[in-house]
Amino acid sequence: MENPVIINRELMHKGSRLEFYKDTLRIPNGNVVSWDYIKHNGAAAVVPVTMDGKIVMVRQYRNAFDAETLEIPAGGLNSPDEPTLEAAVRELKEETGYISLKPLKKLVSVATAVAFCDEVIDIYLAEELEKGEQHLDEDEFLNVEEYELDELVDMIYKGKIKDSKTISGLLAYKNLLNN
């Protein structure tokens, strides 16, 4: 299969976390079309597991859905070259106050919206957690909650958890436990 060829990429808007582009492409049949493209630096997330096997989650308001969501801790990279492992450790501490006494292990990588955005989130497992203090960003307001894995998986299948990184991370962790 022949792939489209990008003829032009025009920056339409540069936001604080994203860059929005209008791409002009020549598609295999020869036609020229416009596609939207969002550039993202990437992100890291973590499935934090307490000493007693509970999963630490964060509940926070998400503007795009005008609702609260229940998610694994995560955050964008500070720069495109920041190692995702460092970002995962940082976000775990900032959002939950926990640190992992064991080295984090990579579970899975997720491309969140392949049709129009290049964001990839590397998701890690953090075990043997030690509680400390949260260090939230000034625009972050969230609650830290703990759940049993089976309870969270049930929430996924009942449609109560819809966040792709959270679903991917939790199911990857469940698969790890089952193997």
Q: Please give the pLDDT value at position 141.
A: 86
Reported pTM = 0.93
What does the alpha-carbon distance between residue 144 and residue 127 come to, in Å, rounded to a whole number? 16
CA distances from 41 to 55, 72, 82, 97, 142 (A): 27, 19, 9, 24, 23
Q: Please give the pLDDT value at position 140.
A: 76
Give 66-102 pLDDT, tens digit per residue.
999 999 999 999 998 999 999 999 999 999 999 999 9
What does the alpha-carbon distance between residue 154 and residue 149 come to, in Å, rounded to a whole number? 9
What does the alpha-carbon distance between residue 48 and residue 101 come to, in Å, rounded to a whole number? 11
Q: Please give the pLDDT value at position 106.
A: 98
Task: Write out residues in the chain with pLDDT < 50, as ranges.
Answer: none
Q: Please give the pLDDT value at position 133.
A: 86
Catalytic residue among 82, 91, 138, 140: 138
138 as an active site residue: the answer is: yes
